[in-house]
Amino acid sequence: MTVASTGEAQPRADNIRVFREELVRLAQEGVLQLDAPQHAALTQHHDALLARLPATSSANSAEPSALFWGMRIVSLLGALALAASVFFIFYQFWGIFSTLGQVAVLAGAAVATCVLALWVGDRDPSRHWTQMAALLAFSCFVLNLLMLGQIFDLTPSSHVLLPWAAFAFLLAYRFRLRLLQAAGIVCLIGWIATGIGSLNGLPRDAFIERPETFFAAALVLFAVPQAIDHSRHPGFATFYRIAGAWTLFGPMLFLAGSGHLSYLEMPDWQVEGLYQALGFLGTAALIVWAVRRQWPAVANTGMLLFTVFCIVKAFDWWWEWMPRSVFFLLMGLLAMALLWAFKRLRSEAA
């Protein structure tokens, strides 16, 4: 078996560790006892498999995966700190450079950090140092375009989000970093939403006032994993679908309580009723679709969104006039009903 990345290696190593612990318990309880040749063969197989896994902080050692994710968080904070340092260094010494010098420094910083990320990525299977280098390269690229716009007095435009998204995706796919994928998704959502808002006459920074501008971005996010094979990038397709679900149903949740924010020329109560129905039906459909396609993370996202819709609308409908004791009783019964429905759906899928 070949494990392509740390994203696959870590869960497999954790499974091996848990299996070994359970095997010891079963032997102590007299339920299952392997003979010496079987135990030796199994141990040798697992040791060989762990040795082939990409070197990480915990994949091929006895360390828990919590330490692995702790190191990921440390590398993220370190990358953000380095990016902030570069940002303030630029502003501190910016005035002493000529225009040509400023352009040269910006271009040089972007190229140098990109080369650094490539160099580190080829030598760091753990991806901790790679994440720091890639985030630093992305930060320098963002700073590059921002500063060039100021140097040449360019009109601020949301179109700058598109090259930011493209560069983030390039780094994400090159190094299999879902954090950079998230950065690319955020930039892509912003670019599409501002574009839709501009087509409807909204100012560049006012697109968020119309939640419906996010719907097109949600459809794009759902379409990407359907159109592109992500078998070489574990977890990427799931992340697109989860981001698409929040981008689609998050705005619906706002519109279900604030109909005046909609583009639809309808009374507010009709708009709110429409998006309430779409929210409940859409999240239910997402759950069924994800369960049938064996996408547990997407199914869990759908369940969470459906539950949020239920809780929010329960407060809207009942909180003002219902006795608090009855309200919380109904909320408890609602939670039991949802738990029963989700458990039944999971059993049917299994």
Angle at Cα 286 formed by Cα 198 and Cα 334, nearest 5°? Answer: 110
Do 3 and 85 share a structural domain?
no
Last residue within a domain, chosen from 63, 84, 108 = 63
Residue 334 lies in a domain: yes
Do 78 and 8 share a structural domain?
no
Number of domains in the chain: 3
Overall average pLDDT of the 32-51 stretch: 77
Do 318 and 214 share a structural domain?
yes
pLDDT reading at 13 higher than 80: no
Residue ranges in 29-98 assigned as alpha helix (H): 36-52, 65-93
Do 291 and 238 share a structural domain?
yes
Do 74 and 47 share a structural domain?
no
Q: How are the residues of the chain apportioned to helix, strand and coil, as percentages rounded to the nearest 5?
A: 80, 0, 20
- Residue type at position 219: L
Give me the domain span that covers residue 346: 210-350
How far apart (Å, rounded) are the C-alpha atoms in residues 197 and 57?
Answer: 45
Residue 121 lies in a domain: yes
Residue 115 lies in a domain: yes
Do 227 and 326 share a structural domain?
yes
pLDDT digits (tens, 9 = 90+) for 315-325: 887 778 888 78
Do 299 and 276 share a structural domain?
yes
- Name the average pLDDT for the chain: 81
Residue 104 lies in a domain: yes
- Identify the band that residue 4 occupies on the pLDDT scale cut at 50, 70 and 90: very low
pLDDT reading at 206 higher than 70: no
Closest CA relative to residue 268, chosen from 258, 276, 277: 258
- Identify the band that residue 14 occupies on the pLDDT scale cut at 50, 70 and 90: low
Token pair of 197, please? 């808002």
- Identify the band that residue 54 occupies on the pLDDT scale cut at 50, 70 and 90: low
pLDDT reading at 63 higher than 50: no
Enumerate residues 6+ apart whose C-beta is below 8 A from 57.
63, 67, 68, 71, 126, 128
pLDDT reading at 152 higher than 60: yes
Q: Pick the residue with more confidence: 345 or 291?
A: 291
Do 9 and 105 share a structural domain?
no
pTM: 0.78
How far apart (Å, rounded) are the C-alpha atoms in residues 290 and 211?
Answer: 25
Q: Pick the residue with more confidence: 163 or 84?
A: 163
Do 259 and 170 share a structural domain?
no
Residue 328 lies in a domain: yes
Overall average pLDDT of the 1-20 stretch: 60
Overall average pLDDT of the 79-96 stretch: 74
pLDDT reading at 76 higher than 80: no
- So what's the pLDDT on residue 167? 95
Overall average pLDDT of the 269-297 stretch: 91
- Identify the band that residue 184 occupies on the pLDDT scale cut at 50, 70 and 90: very high
Overall average pLDDT of the 103-112 stretch: 84
Q: For the chain, what percent of residues have pLDDT higher than 70?
A: 86
Residue 49 lies in a domain: yes
Closest CA relative to residue 242, chosen from 319, 296, 321, 310: 296
Are 171 and 177 a contacting pair, CB within 8 Å? yes
Overall average pLDDT of the 252-257 stretch: 91
Last residue within a domain, chosen from 35, 63, 91 = 63
Do 236 and 110 share a structural domain?
no
> Which DSSP category does 262 fall into?
S
- So what's the pLDDT on residue 130? 86
- So what's the pLDDT on residue 146? 84
How far apart (Å, rounded) are the C-alpha atoms in residues 173 and 229?
Answer: 12
Whose tokens are 């896994």? That residue is: 53
pLDDT reading at 190 higher than 50: yes
Angle at Cα 260 formed by Cα 257 and Cα 263, nearest 5°? Answer: 115
Do 35 and 170 share a structural domain?
no
pLDDT reading at 329 higher than 70: yes
Token pair of 196, please? 């839709």
Last residue within a domain, chosen from 29, 63, 97 = 63
Highest mean pLDDT among 19-28, 218-227, 287-296: 218-227
Euclidean distance between the first and the last CA atom of the chain, given in angstroms as a whole number: 26
Report DSSP letters for 148-215, one per residue.
Answer: HHHHTTPPP-GGGHHHHHHHHHHHHHHHT-HHHHHHHHHHHHHHHHHHHHHHTT--TT-GGGSGGGGH
pLDDT reading at 176 higher than 80: yes
pLDDT reading at 142 higher than 70: yes
Residue 105 lies in a domain: yes
Do 153 and 121 share a structural domain?
yes
- So what's the pLDDT on residue 81? 81
pLDDT reading at 23 higher than 60: yes
Overall average pLDDT of the 275-282 stretch: 93
Overall average pLDDT of the 32-36 stretch: 77
Residue 182 lies in a domain: no
